Amino acid sequence: MSITAQSVWNNCLEFIKDNIQPQAYKTWFEPIKAVKLTDNALSIQVPSKFFYEWLEEHYVKILKVSLTKELGEKAKLVYIIKMENTYGNKQPFTEKIPSSNRGSVKAQDVDIPLNNKSPELRNPFVIPGIRNVKIESQLNPNYSFENFLEGDSNRLARSAGLAVAAKPGGTSFNPLLIFGGVGLGKTHLAHAIGVDIKDKYPEKTVLYISAEKFTQQYIDSVKKNNRNDFIHFYQIIDVLIIDDVQFLSGKSGTQDVFFHIFNHLHQNGKQVILTSDKAPVDMQDIEQRLLSRFKWGLSAELQNPDFETRVSILKNKLYRDGVEMPEDIVEYVAKNIKTNVRELEGAIISLIAQSSFNKKEITIELAKQIVEKFVKNTKREVSIDYIQKIVSDYFQMDVDTLQSKTRKRHIVQARQLAMFFAKKFTKASLASIGSQIGKRDHATVLHACKTVDNLSSTDKQFRKYVEDITKKLSV
Ligand SMILES: Nc1ncnc2c1ncn2[C@@H]1O[C@H](COP(=O)(O)OP(=O)(O)OP(=O)(O)O)[C@@H](O)[C@H]1O
């Protein structure tokens, strides 16, 4: 049987289908069409630039594995972006982009000490002797201020970001800590600051790194016995951006090394930008001395965007993708997806994909179907109300009793369990959990979580409660 683009792609799809969630498969892979196979390069057609970016960001690994299985080590993937615009008169257009070839902000030359180990490392931190080495800033130029739309929910953080970008290290916002819930733009804003600084001050060395990668690099440096080189590398950065610092929680070695790096940078007027999914007061298992430094500068929160901002974000996205969509549909999506900008964008992309490939008109009906899937998925994330209901049902009491001020032991325990599960299963802060479960403060919630932890390791009956309720909440 001869190998065609279609047959290769079908085999890839089979593999991918087995390895990702059905909904994700339906949204991101069903709309793709295999177009051409030349030598080792498979061209696939995707419905928009965002679609391509999404695939590259979330599925590039699985695409690579599946394609290598089919076409060998030299396999290449080429995206063809095709937008058939169902509205307006714009001609459909195509654009070809090879996989993993997104523009990146230019590498920067810096003099740093060097050793005889691999100079090509993108992020070389090791290095006695002096040699000119390029440090990739790891910034994504698509995440700019220009397309980070302003609204009440992000005004403080965005303005602080602009101020920092205008004068890195020269404002009182040092460090600048950007915090907020999932998908609200922390990473985007952190990149935007870095990108703007590189535009304004090309000679400055900017580095974006996730706390997870930072930790991994640190662990490697300890293994390879070059911890000092690791520290020196970070101490020469002018603007250090660390994403998701809550990841450092419980990792005392990495916290310690970061503490030293932070102090050095701060004392030398270098800028530090951090992001986190929690406010410093809600971070657990982060050393006090580090937490107090996080609070030195400004902690700016990204909140859920209001309706107008959600509409502007969607319109901007459509405009950049060259797609037109009726106002009432944009508003419908914005009205129904409220708490996560990533999902908001995801819903619009699904809508475009469904309409352009299945040749369906974009109607409110279609929008409803798609939004429902997103909203259902979101709802699967349990709410604090739901947790309180499950826990009080389990102990055969009503929610008011669970929340009451009583000190009766079995009620206190039920309340502590509800707090513990709220911490475990939701992204809510300790303060917010406390206020929703009987108007308690964050210290009470913290105490409850610790008590549940202790009791479940010492008391068999209590452990059974925790297991039973976990099962009920996971259904
Ligand atoms: N104000 C905004 N204007 C335009 N796009 C936005 C805005 N806020 C968020 N986005 C978009 O939403 C998506 C999610 O943002 P991002 O990845 O920065 O969120 P995050 O807070 O870092 O999420 P996580 O908690 O999962 O790390 C991105 O595509 C980003 O461009």
More confident residue, 475 or 327: 327
Structural tokens at position 173: 């916002």
Cα separation, 116 vs 245, whole angstroms: 32
Residues contacting residue 418 through CB under 8 Å, at least 6 positions apart: 384, 387, 388, 391, 392, 402, 437
Task: Pick from 50, 152, 187 the residue to mutate for probing ligand 1's pocket: most ligand atoms within 8 Å of its CB.
Answer: 187
339 lines ligand 1 (CB under 6 A): no
Cα separation, 171 vs 360, whole angstroms: 52
pLDDT of res. 251 = 92
pLDDT of res. 118 = 29
Place of tokens 């740093």: 112
> Distance from the CA of 163 to the center of ligand 1, in angstroms?
20
Q: Is 346 annotated as a binding residue?
A: no
Cα separation, 280 vs 444, whole angstroms: 17
Overall fold of domain 384-474: Chromosomal Replication Initiator Protein Dnaa; Chain: A; (1.10.1750)
The class that CATH gives domain 5-98 is alpha beta
| Interval 70-126: pLDDT, tens | 998 888 888 887 644 333 333 444 445 555 533 334 444 333 333 333 222 233 333
Task: Pick from 341, 344, 349 the residue to mutate for probing ligand 1's pocket: most ligand atoms within 8 Å of its CB.
Answer: 341
Report the pLDDT averaged over residues 259-263. Answer: 93
For the chain, residues classed under CATH 1.10.1750.10 are 384-474
When the pLDDT of each residue in the chain is averaged and rounded to a whole number, the result is: 84
Question: How sure is the predictor about 26, in pLDDT bands with cuts at 50, 70 and 90?
Answer: confident
> ∠ at Cα 142 (139, 147), nearest 5°?
125
Q: What is the DSSP string of 272-290?
A: EEEEESS-GGG--S--HHH
CA of 158, closest atom in ligand 1? 1
59 by DSSP, 3-state: which?
A: coil
Query: Is the N-terminal amide bond of 22 cis, ω within 30° of 0?
Result: no
154 lines ligand 1 (CB under 6 A): yes
For the chain, residues classed under CATH 3.40.50.300 are 108-302
Cα separation, 354 vs 333, whole angstroms: 15
pLDDT of res. 319 = 87
Closest residue by CA, ligand 1 atom 15: 185
State pTM to two decimals. Answer: 0.62
Q: Which of 373, 367, 345, 473 is nearest to 420 (CA)?
A: 473
pLDDT of res. 451 = 94
> Distance from the CA of 10 to the center of ligand 1, in angstroms?
33
Question: Where does 270-429 show beta strands of DSSP type E?
Answer: 271-276, 298-302
pLDDT of res. 110 = 38
Element (H, E) at 34: strand 33-38
| Interval 337-351: pLDDT, tens | 888 899 899 889 888
pLDDT of res. 420 = 95
CA of 153, closest atom in ligand 1? 1
Question: How sure is the predictor about 443, in pLDDT bands with cuts at 50, 70 and 90?
Answer: very high
Cα separation, 224 vs 270, whole angstroms: 28
Element (H, E) at 374: helix 364-380
pLDDT of res. 50 = 66
Place of tokens 């479960």: 437
> Distance from the CA of 149 to the center of ligand 1, in angstroms?
10
Q: Which of 216, 260, 258 is nearest to 123 (CA)?
A: 216
What are residue 177's phi and psi, to 5 degrees? -105, 120
More confident residue, 283 or 241: 241
Closest residue by CA, ligand 1 atom 18: 185
277 lines ligand 1 (CB under 6 A): yes
Report the pLDDT averaged over residues 40-64. Answer: 82
Asked if the model's pLDDT at residue 469 lies above 50, the reply is: yes
**Tally of CA atoms within 13 A in the half-sphere of 425 that contains its CB:** 25
pLDDT of res. 96 = 53
Q: What is the DSSP string of 230-253?
A: HHHHHHT-SEEEEE-GGGGTT-HH
Place of tokens 């990473």: 187
Q: Across 40-49, 275-284, 412-421, which has the greatest mean pLDDT?
A: 412-421
341 lines ligand 1 (CB under 6 A): yes
> Distance from the CA of 389 to the center of ligand 1, in angstroms?
32
The yes/no answer to whether this complex scores an ipTM above 0.95 is yes
Overall fold of domain 108-302: Rossmann fold (3.40.50)
Cα separation, 178 vs 155, whole angstroms: 12
| Interval 170-190: pLDDT, tens | 988 999 999 998 899 999 999
For the chain, residues classed under CATH 1.10.8.60 are 307-380
Element (H, E) at 220: helix 211-223
What are residue 417's phi and psi, to 5 degrees? -65, -40
> Distance from the CA of 188 to the center of ligand 1, in angstroms?
5
Q: Across 34-43, 83-92, 234-243, 322-331, which has the greatest mean pLDDT?
A: 234-243
In this structure, how many other beta carbons lie within 10 angstroms of the beta carbon of residue 389? 15
Q: Is 458 annotated as a binding residue?
A: no
Overall fold of domain 307-380: Helicase, Ruva Protein; domain 3 (1.10.8)
315 lines ligand 1 (CB under 6 A): no
Q: What is the DSSP string of 93-128?
A: EEEEEETT----PPPEEEEEE--SS-TT-SS----S
More confident residue, 365 or 109: 365
